[in-house]
């Protein structure tokens, strides 16, 4: 990158003194998140940390990728530390990567697709380096807590100005693991999708948007038919869940403009007993057949009396 005069900029200058956002599947039941904060503070005491989310479903890379992608557009430029790292089939972890994006951010994550949806939203990959310089790690790293021993100290050093080239060799961006977003399909007057997230309030976020519903002929305010978990429900597509009575199911949009199934002052996930990745069909409500007009009365002459 260059400054306004065309001179080269050190990549570390782009994030010096910046934020670190932190997403993981560590949960808040023990000290894992706090320990990672401590490691960052020891190496970068002036850098501020945003706890983005630590409730990613355990080892669910797709869930973490969707959460990160839905949030990065609202975060400041800086270091984005994302940690959801299941063991591979060979019992080992994937390589760690430091991905510099066009907006000047650096994403620190395992190379398992976790960051792949987010980096495109930040302008795409400018360059990427493998996190292999063990001098930047904690001494004697363990095999089970790489977030503390590898990723946190590297993220902290990058946030204080370390050049990404110092973390390890440059990689070909084409070699990185990428996830393909799960997309819905429109079939005439039906939208076939799935539940991609269940939020803290039990709302079911779908991989469909209002545009998808409109492509199936479903407009805001229309009655719709929902088929999910072996049930068929007659709902309405409204702007918000507050437009239906308390306790009533409804189809509306969430804060990321995804279609969601919600219950006003309730939990749709509990009401419908579904989990993430449950299949769903949203269709135009069946049209009520028009009542047939009554047959005209026929006058029958009475027989004449003798």
The first and second tokens of residue 286, run together, are 């069946």
Model pLDDT, residue 299: 58
- Residue 12 pLDDT > 70, yes or no? no
Q: What is the pLDDT of residue 87?
A: 75
d(CA 43, CA 81): 15
> Partners of 135 in the beta sheet?
none
Tell me the pairing of strands 106-110 and 279-284: unpaired
Residues 82 and 115 sit within 8 Å (Cβ to Cβ) = yes
pLDDT per position as a tens digit, 36-71:
999 999 999 999 999 999 999 999 999 999 999 999
| Cβ atoms within 10 Å, residue 100 | 24
CB 20 within 8 A of CB 48: yes
Residue 221, number of CB atoms within 10 A of its CB: 10
Closest residue by Cα to residue 194 from 268, 254, 260, 263: 260
Q: Enumerate the H helices of the chain as residue ranges.
A: 32-43, 61-71, 116-121, 146, 152-159, 210-215, 268-272
pLDDT > 50? residue 4: no
Average pLDDT, the chain: 89
Q: Is the pLDDT of residue 94 over 90?
A: no
pLDDT of residue 171: 98
Q: What is the pLDDT of residue 18?
A: 84
Give me the pLDDT at residue 1, please.
38
Q: Which of 64, 57, 77 is nearest to 14 (CA)?
A: 77
Q: What is the pLDDT of residue 175?
A: 96
Query: Could you read off the pLDDT of 107-138 as tens digits, one per residue?
Result: 999 999 999 999 999 999 999 999 999 999 99
Contacts 24+ apart (CB under 8 A), 267-275: 267/201, 267/202, 267/203, 268/202, 268/203, 268/204, 269/198, 269/202, 269/203, 269/204, 270/202, 271/202, 272/204, 272/228, 272/229, 272/231, 273/229, 274/195, 274/204, 274/228, 274/229, 275/195, 275/198
Among 4-8, 214-218, 249-253, whose mean pLDDT is lowest?
A: 4-8
Q: What is residue 118's three-state secondary structure?
A: helix
Query: pTM of the entire structure?
Result: 0.83
Q: Which of 177, 178, 181 is nearest to 94 (CA)?
A: 177
Closest to 148 in 3D by CA, of 92, 65, 81: 81
Percent of the chain whose pLDDT exceeds 70: 87
292 pLDDT band, cuts 50/70/90, is: low
**Model confidence pLDDT, tens digit, residues 140-174:** 998 889 999 999 999 999 999 999 999 999 999 99
Cα gap 20→48, rounded to integer Å:
6
Residue 270 has pLDDT above 90, yes or no: yes
Amino acid 3: pLDDT:
39
Domains of the chain: 11-175 (3.40.50.10790), 185-284 (2.40.30.90)
**pLDDT at position 2, please?**
36
How confident is residue 9, by pLDDT bands cut at 50, 70 and 90? very low
What beta strand segments (E) does the chain contain? Answer: 19-24, 48-53, 78-83, 96-101, 106-110, 125-130, 185-187, 190-198, 204-209, 223-228, 231-236, 249-253, 258-263, 279-284
Rounded distance between C-alpha atoms, residue 15 and residue 138, angstroms: 22
For residue 272, CA distances in Å to 164, 191, 236, 247 come to 47, 19, 16, 13
Average pLDDT over residues 90-94: 71
């Amino acid at each position: 990158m260059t400054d306004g005069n065309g001179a080269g900029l050190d990549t570390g200058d782009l994030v010096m003194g910046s934020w670190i956002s932190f997403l993981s599947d560590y949960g808040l039941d023990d000290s894992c998140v706090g320990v990672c904060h401590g490691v960052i503070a020891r190496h970068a005491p002036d850098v501020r940390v945003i706890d983005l989310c630590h409730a990613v479903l355990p080892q669910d890379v797709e869930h973490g990728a969707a959460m990160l992608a839905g949030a990065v557009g609202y975060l400041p430029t800086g270091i984005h530390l994302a940690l959801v790292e299941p063991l591979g089939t060979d019992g080992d972890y994937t390589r760690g990567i430091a991905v510099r994006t066009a907006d000047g951010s650096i994403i620190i994550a395992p190379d398992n697709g976790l960051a792949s949806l987010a980096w495109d939203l930040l302008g795409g990959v400018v360059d990427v380096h493998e996190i292999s310089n063990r001098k930047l790690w904690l001494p004697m790293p363990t095999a089970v807590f790489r977030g503390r021993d590898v990723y946190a100290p590297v993220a902290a050093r990058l946030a204080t100005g370390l050049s990404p080239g110092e973390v390890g060799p440059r990689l070909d961006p084409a070699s990185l693991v990428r996830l393909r977003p799960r997309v819905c399909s429109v079939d005439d007057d039906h939208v076939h999708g799935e539940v991609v997230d269940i939020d803290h309030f039990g709302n079911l976020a779908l991989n469909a948007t209002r545009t998808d519903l409109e492509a199936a002929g479903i407009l805001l305010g229309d009655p719709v038919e929902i088929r999910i978990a072996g049930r068929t429900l007659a709902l309405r597509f409204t702007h918000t869940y507050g437009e239906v009575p308390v306790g009533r199911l409804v189809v509306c949009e969430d804060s990321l403009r995804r279609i969601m199934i919600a219950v006003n002052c309730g939990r749709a996930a509990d009401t419908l007993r579904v989990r993430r990745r449950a299949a769903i069909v949203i269709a135009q409500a069946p049209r009520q057949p028009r009542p047939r007009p009554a047959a005209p009365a026929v006058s029958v002459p009475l027989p004449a009396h003798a």
